[in-house]
Structure 1
Amino acid sequence: MNVMRRTAATLATVAVLLVAGCSSSGGEDDPTPGPSASDRNGRPDDRKVSGLRGMTLPSWNTDDYSRPQAETYLRQIAATGTRWVTFTPTWYQDRVTDSAMRTTGETASDDSLRHIIRLAHDAGLKTMVKPHVDLTKGGDRAEIKPKDRDAWFTAYGRFITHYAQLAADNGVEQFSVGTELAGTSRDGERWGRTIAAIREHYKGPLTYAANYDEYQKIPFWKDLDVIGIDAYWPLADKATTDAARLRSAWRPIVDELAAFSDRQHRKILFTEAGYVSQRGTTTAPYSWTVSKRDGEAEQAAAYEALLAAFDGKPWWAGVCWWMWDDWPDSGETAKRLAYTPHGKPAEKVLKKWWGER
């Protein structure tokens, strides 16, 4: 998910995954659910909740991950029943045609990233590092199409292997090789070489976070351990708080994903999914600015529908929600309207499905 300051967003093996806790068939993150983990009323069984339980904590500034609030945020995240947390160090390029990316004052420092990984482990959370590339002059990262592709991939290789080594050195349990780079992701040969270079540094499970309208066009899933999708499918044509209706809207998508997983012989992880607490969020989950009207009930219904629709699916590896609270003085969307579920009905939905019982 691109940050608002840039733009509103637009549209290997099972054994390795079991070790990583990303399988929906066992392990402490993911008790075996059987055919369904819901009772007749649609409530989660007290003993069985399937899939990786994740939350994203993004950074917008150099020192975010070393702020005093970091430990508090992680405790709050863990209290929802979340067992994984995703971090998003970001480099920037000015234009979609540029041939390289660089750090800026909005890039989390390496020391701060190491610090928050350590805090997360201390809090009993597993970690995924999901580096992002964004644009300083506006636009969507999906539109990045460098004029000099060889130069861009060389620069990207330096960027991503830097974080792969940092992840390896700090015991990170899963790593994403890229996020929503649709303008380059059809280049299977160059991406294959990039992934091979990453594996020289990082031996854990790898994914790529494809946008929901991108994942079927990716030629390199065979090189990765799990399919990653940023799951911002529109579910309604008008605002609704009807969780049953939203769950029904997921049905054709569930069927589509089940078939895709079977063809690729890989499980599917929602590397992102989320809803602002604004009226109409289910019509455009990828948008930070659907409306200025409160939509907490719609956000909660959307959380309920996703968790109910995918619970117990043996090919579904879980979800990393976008996102927890913004850091003080950095959010450009008021908390009451933002993606965070914290302090809202959606947090209660998470605790119902994921919380300790």
Structure 2
Amino acid sequence: MAAVLLAATGCTTDSAAKDTDTGGPGKESPAMRGIALPSWYRTDYDSPAADRYLRGIRATGARWVTFTPTWYQKRRTDSGMHTTQETASDTSLRDIVRRAHALGLKVMIKPHIDLPGDADRAEIRPRDRAAWFTSYRRFITHYADLAADTGAEQFAVGTELAGVSGDSTDWRDVIKDVRDHYDGPLTYAANYDEYKKIRFWKDLDLIGIDAYWPLSDHPTADTGRLRRAWEPIRKELAAYAGHQGRRILFTEAGYVSQRGSTTAPYSWTVSGHTAPAEQAAAYRALLDSFTGRRWWVGVCWWMWDDWPDSGETPVRLAYTPHGKPAEEVLREKWGGG
């Protein structure tokens, strides 16, 4: 199975270090070197900045880029989702996939459902679940068609929907519908505290995890300490991959350049104090800990630059590694020029 998945994902092979963890499927560990470029408005992917951003992503040594078209629901109990002015237009999404391919980048399309403001999509619990899944199938197959039409190399059937991801029968129906529209490898992006509750991994090609594990109880730029924090998590993941017979992709991982980012990687607002060294140490510790593990497919970092005039978090405090020591870590580890 691992050989099939290796070919299907088209991942670029780094040096194949031996995996000392037990239970992981596969013979060696090619790494999916990716960075997400999310959109927050319908014309973001049409922005004049798009080509510059894609070139910047490629210059780190990345070989993949993730795009995140997003639909919304007003309340967590709503029975459906819809486009808004914050949804990337289909035309812009098609165009940016074409631009990425022209630069030699592979593409994962990872559609999101969101709630207004700072509400967490994991809180979505529709009052009419049957109606919600009917609406969701329309949403996700729309993007599966777009992924097929544009030649996107990978597709995510959902992201961090913990309030409904326990409905395994409905998700198997979603996955079947998506496979009728798209032939490439499929994953689901489970949050780090959600993945063990998923019962449909064997219907997918890869286990996807948004890897926002807290690594420390206080701010630290000590790479060795952070590597040690990853050790029990890594062993647990290796065993889980073996049990499921699927390799693991970190569909997201990231750290704001704020003091304390390693204590709460999932937070945009840990503090108002810059800490680029802590961000860089976290990048290095993750790559040191997982690169070469045969059961680990790779990582798509969250995220590259915000679009001009759209960022709510100042760049110096944001998730982006661009222009910070974390970007130099990527260039060193991924061979960027």
- TM bucket, shorter chain: over 0.9
In the alignment, structure 1 residue 277 sits paired with structure 2 residue 265: no
In the alignment, structure 1 residue 182 sits paired with structure 2 residue 165: no
2:72–2:113: 8 Å Cα contact kept in structure 1?
A: yes
Find the counterpart in structure 2 of residue 235 from structure 1.
215
CA distance 1:269–1:306, change in 2 (3 Å): same
Sequence identity of aligned pairs in percent? Answer: 66
Find the counterpart in structure 1 of residue 8 from structure 2.
20
Partner amino acid, structure 2, of 1:242: D
Partner amino acid, structure 2, of 1:17: L
CA distance 1:170–1:20, change in 2 (3 Å): same
Structure 2 unaligned residues grouped into runs of 5+? 20-27
In the alignment, structure 1 residue 34 sits paired with structure 2 residue 17: yes
Equivalences for 1:236-255 in 2 at 5 Å? 236-255=216-235
Find the counterpart in structure 1 of residue 137 from structure 2.
157
How far off is 1:32 after superposition?
A: 4.6
SS state at 1:53 partner: strand
Partner amino acid, structure 2, of 1:76: G
How far off is 1:17 after superposition?
A: 1.9
Partner amino acid, structure 1, of 2:2: V
1:16–1:225: 8 Å Cα contact kept in structure 2?
A: no
Q: Measure the CA separation in 2 of the matches of 1:300 and 1:32.
A: 22
Partner amino acid, structure 2, of 1:324: W
CA distance 1:138–1:278, change in 2 (3 Å): closer
Equivalences for 1:250-329 in 2 at 5 Å? 250-329=230-309
CA distance 1:103–1:16, change in 2 (3 Å): farther
How far off is 1:34 after superposition?
A: 3.0
Find the counterpart in structure 2 of residue 336 from structure 1.
316
Q: Measure the CA separation in 1 of the matches of 2:61 and 2:322.
A: 13
How far off is 1:345 after superposition?
A: 0.2
Find the counterpart in structure 1 of residue 149 from structure 2.
169
Equivalences for 1:19-98 in 2 at 5 Å? 19-21=7-9, 29-35=12-18, 50-98=30-78
How far off is 1:35 after superposition?
A: 1.7
Find the counterpart in structure 2 of residue 110 from structure 1.
90
Q: Measure the CA separation in 2 of the matches of 1:321 and 1:17.
A: 21
SS state at 1:196 partner: helix
Find the counterpart in structure 1 of residue 25 from structure 2.
none
Partner amino acid, structure 2, of 1:153: F
Partner amino acid, structure 2, of 1:162: H
Deviation string 1:83-120 (CA, Å, 9 cap, x unpaired) is 00000000000011000000000000000000000000
Q: Measure the CA separation in 1 of the matches of 2:2 and 2:222.
A: 36
Deviation string 1:245-270 (CA, Å, 9 cap, x unpaired) is 00000000000000000000000000
SS state at 1:120 partner: helix
What RMSD, in angstroms, separates the aligned Cα atoms of the two structures?
1.4
How far off is 1:49 after superposition?
A: 8.5
SS state at 1:85 partner: strand
Partner amino acid, structure 2, of 1:247: R
How far off is 1:19 after superposition?
A: 2.1
Find the counterpart in structure 2 of residue 39 from structure 1.
none
Deviation string 1:67-92 (CA, Å, 9 cap, x unpaired) is 11001100000000000000000000
Partner amino acid, structure 1, of 2:74: D
Partner amino acid, structure 2, of 1:101: M
How far off is 1:356 after superposition?
A: 4.2
2:58–2:336: 8 Å Cα contact kept in structure 1?
A: no
How far off is 1:20 after superposition?
A: 3.1
Q: Measure the CA separation in 2 of the matches of 1:231 and 1:100.
A: 28
Partner amino acid, structure 2, of 1:302: A
Partner amino acid, structure 2, of 1:66: D
How far off is 1:16 after superposition?
A: 3.9
In the alignment, structure 1 residue 145 sits paired with structure 2 residue 128: no
Deviation string 1:317-351 (CA, Å, 9 cap, x unpaired) is 00000000000010000000000000000000000
Calculate the TM-score normalised by the size of structure 1: 0.90
2:33–2:299: 8 Å Cα contact kept in structure 1?
A: yes
SS state at 1:147 partner: coil
How far off is 1:311 after superposition?
A: 1.4
Deviation string 1:189-247 (CA, Å, 9 cap, x unpaired) is 00000100000000000000000000000010010000000000000000001001000
SS state at 2:37 partner: strand
Q: Measure the CA separation in 1 of the matches of 2:293 and 2:179.
A: 29
Partner amino acid, structure 2, of 1:257: L
Deviation string 1:148-174 (CA, Å, 9 cap, x unpaired) is 000000000000000000000000000
Structure 1 unaligned residues grouped into runs of 5+? 1-12, 37-47
Find the counterpart in structure 1 of residue 24 from structure 2.
none
Q: Which runs of 4+ in 1 moved over 3 A?
A: none
How far off is 1:21 after superposition?
A: 3.5
Find the counterpart in structure 2 of residue 121 from structure 1.
101
In the alignment, structure 1 residue 135 sits paired with structure 2 residue 120: no
1:49–1:311: 8 Å Cα contact kept in structure 2?
A: yes
2:17–2:29: 8 Å Cα contact kept in structure 1?
A: no
